[in-house]
Amino acid sequence: MSSDYKRIIGVCEDPGRGARGGDVAALRELYTAYIQDGGVNPGQIVRWKPGLRPQWGMEYRKPAIVLRAPEGQREVCIGYIESDGVPSISWTDPNRLESFA
């Protein structure tokens, strides 16, 4: 689990921690990163935005390819290779992704 993710979980589990300026600033940074629309398209190589990787799926700094991006839906289908070499497919919020370039 990433240190960014652990910090967010800590804030959620102990709301008193959220009063610290560092935690509030970190949450604002994650929000700013999340709302930036990367405009992912089928065939595009992507990766997780820093701090926005869920607990499952591809690792940070690893590439994935957008397989489907249905118009009007809030999720895209991505394909990636897991750490054990197994190809995998999953659906995720495109706002969690950025271009791999």
The pLDDT tens digits for 19-62 are: 556 788 888 888 888 888 768 899 999 998 888 877 677 787 88
Give burial (CB, 10 Å; 0-12/13-18/19+) of 20.
exposed
Are 98 and 50 contacting, i.e. CB atoms less than 8 angstroms apart? no
Looking at the structure, tell me whether residues 90 and 50 fall in a common domain: yes
Looking at the structure, tell me whether residues 57 and 93 fall in a common domain: yes
* Residue 40, domain member (yes or no): no
The pTM score is 0.68
Say whether pLDDT at 16 is over 80.
no
The pLDDT tens digits for 73-99 are: 889 999 999 888 899 999 999 988 999
Q: What is the pLDDT of residue 20?
A: 58
Say whether pLDDT at 18 is over 50.
no
Looking at the structure, tell me whether residues 49 and 90 fall in a common domain: yes
Domain limits at 92? 45-99
What's the whole-number average pLDDT of the chain?
80
